[in-house]
Amino acid sequence: MRFGFIGLGNLGRNLAASLPRAGVPLTVSDLDESAAEELVDAGASWAATPREVAAVSDTVFTCLPSPSAVATVLSGADGLLGGFAPGGTWVDSSANDRHELLRLAALAAERGVGTLEAPVTGGVHLARSGEITVLVGGDVAAFEAHRAAFEAIVRMSSTSGRLGARQ
C-alpha cells in the first residue's frame, strides 16, 4: 500500500516520520516545501499538490490546522479528490469539525474514496516518541486494512502508544 501525508507542521511532520521509519512508502506535501526536507532525506517522495499526492497514493493522511484548510486540501482545485482513484482512503487527523468532516466524507464517498477520522491526542512530544494516542472512527474493515500504518504511528511494539477504534 502506498501512503501520502499532507500537513507537515509540528504535529504532522512527527506523525508522518513514523511511516518511513516503519518501511512504509510515503509521498508528502505541505504549503512550505522546506517542512518536508527531513522526510525526503529519510526516503519520502515530494509532491507539489495534494492532487499529486493522491495520484500516487492508495491512502492519504491529512493533519491540518483548520476545517477550511481540510476542505481546500480535499476538494479544492488541486485537491485530493482530483487525484484519488476509486477505492482510495482519506485519513483525517486534522483539527476538524465533525459536521464538516461528515460533509467532506460524503464528497469523498461520491468519488469512491473512503474516509477514516483519526484525531490524535498527546501533543507533539508524544508524536515524536511514538507515545501518541490515535482514536480512529469509520468503517471497521477500512481500519483493519490500515492497522499497520496506525501501529507505525503509535509504535504498538512499545507499551506506550495507544490505538483505539470506533465505528
Q: What is the pLDDT of residue 130?
A: 67
When pLDDT is cut at 50, 70 and 90, the band that residue 127 belongs to is confident
When pLDDT is cut at 50, 70 and 90, the band that residue 153 belongs to is confident
Q: What is the pLDDT of residue 158?
A: 38
- In whole numbers, what is the pLDDT of the chain averaged over residues? 89
- Residue 146 above 90 pLDDT? yes
To the question of pTM greater than 0.85 for the whole model, the response is: yes
Angle at 138 between CA 68 and CA 153, to 5 degrees: 80
Question: What is the greatest pairwise CA distance in the chain?
Answer: 42
Q: What is the pLDDT of residue 159?
A: 39
pLDDT tens per residue, range 49-76: 999 999 999 999 999 999 999 999 999 9
d(CA 20, CA 78): 25
Radius of gyration of the chain (CA): 14
In the chain, what is the straight-line distance between the N-terminal and C-terminal CA atoms, in Å?
A: 23
**95: phi > 0 → left, psi -120 to 50 → alpha, else beta; which?**
beta
Give the number of other Cβ atoms within 10 Å of residue 119's Cβ: 17
- Compute the average pLDDT of residues 115-140: 82
| pLDDT, greater one: 79 or 165 | 79
Tell me what percent of the residues of the chain surpass a pLDDT of 90. Answer: 68
Place of cell 494516542: 133
CATH topology of domain 3-119: Rossmann fold (3.40.50)
- Residue 161 above 50 pLDDT? no
